[in-house]
Amino acid sequence: MLILGIETSCDETGVALYDSAAGLLAQRLYSQVQMHRDYGGVVPELASRDHIRRVLPLLDETLAEAGRGREAIDAIAVTVGPGLAGALLVGAAIGHAIGYALGKPVVGVHHLEGHLLSPLLAQPAPRFPFVALLVSGGHTQMLRVGGLGDYALLGETVDDAAGEAFDKTAQLLGLGYPGGPAVSRLAEFGSAGAYALPRPMLHSGDLAFSFSGLKTAVLTAVRKIDSTCEQARADLARAFVDAVVDVLAAKALTALQQTGMTTLVVAGGVGANAQLRARLRADAQARGHEVFFPPLDLCTDNGAMIALAGWAKLQRGGASAGGAFAVRPRWPLEQA
């Protein structure tokens, strides 16, 4: 079965063709980062307008790379939430129009289900059940994944997401938007322990997270350092990354302990973070656990994960009927 995946929930336009037997055939991604950079964050209206320009050319390129025609598509999967309402509407409208034109079913996908299943696009793929640590720009959640469609929330952030904290720290350090990768690179040159930053909720005993206090602590520290001193900035970036990684790794271990599981899956943009990957790999090895990450290019938003999640949803009868559709900017994953 050949599934077309379309992702437009935020500032990346992703299109992919996933074959349920052969795997990912081709994918194309257009990032709007350059366009939003001047504003220091995503401008929703600009995002929507740009998605309109990108989807169909990306679709043509993806089909060409896969060597398939539009008529080969068996179903269309499109992100319908959570995300920016206007941006979601663009993808949903185009996806449904293609479905109508081709006479093929359309399935509305939950963006986080896409992230959650993205490690299944790598080899070796994790086996169910597993604990998933979902760390993106908008969400930080710990989930128990029993199987396709069986997702239970174990804990989540009470304020900012981990990716948001990375982006705000990047801004404070003058690294631009979005700054996760830049903070990570700068931290490589920093010395551990040069600054003491809080590890919010590290000992809360539950699987909740909080990152807004950490952001404020970075702000306070930034005001005290000589911003022209590259080493001081690197030391502060290092302190921030160490604090985030400490919390995420500790909570992941707690989740494995509490559920009695031995497999951890990490997904979402922050899952691309080198320091987090290294720490979780080391922790897992020390305890005999297994840890899985999506391929680096599938950590951040993309159409491939949406095609895969669409296929999973079709297996449980999730295609929408009659051509009517709606988007859900806010949508708990358990209801997907």
Query: By the criterion CB under 6 A, which residues form the site for ligand KG4?
Result: 10, 136-138, 163, 166-167, 178-181, 184, 268-270, 272-273, 300-301
Closer residue to Zn ion in complex, CB, 164/301: 301
Question: Could you tell me the sign of the dihedral formed by the alpha carbons of 35, 37, 43, 44, in that order?
Answer: positive
Tell the smallest beta-carbon distance from residue 314 to ligand KG4 (Å).
22
Q: Which does 270 bind (CB under 5 to 8 A by kind): Zn ion, ligand KG4, none?
A: ligand KG4
Tell the smallest beta-carbon distance from residue 105 to ligand KG4 (Å).
25
Calpha distance 189→180 (Å, rounded): 15
Long-range contacts of 163-168 (CB under 8 A, 24+ apart): 163/135, 163/136, 163/137, 163/138, 163/268, 163/269, 163/270, 164/137, 164/138, 164/211, 164/215, 165/211, 165/212, 165/214, 165/215, 165/240, 165/244, 166/244, 166/270, 166/273, 167/41, 167/137, 168/215, 168/218
Q: Which does 184 bind (CB under 5 to 8 A by kind): Zn ion, ligand KG4, none?
A: ligand KG4
Closer residue to ligand KG4 in complex, CB, 19/160: 160
Calpha distance 257→22 (Å, rounded): 36
Identify which of 213, 230, 233 has the alpha carbon closest to the alpha carbon of residue 222. Answer: 233
Q: Which does 149 bind (CB under 5 to 8 A by kind): Zn ion, ligand KG4, none?
A: none
Closer residue to ligand KG4 in complex, CB, 166/211: 166
Tell the smallest beta-carbon distance from residue 224 to Zn ion (Å).
34
Tell the smallest beta-carbon distance from residue 69 to ligand KG4 (Å).
30
Q: Return residues touching Zn ion (CB under 5 A).
A: 136, 301
Closer residue to ligand KG4 in complex, CB, 19/164: 164
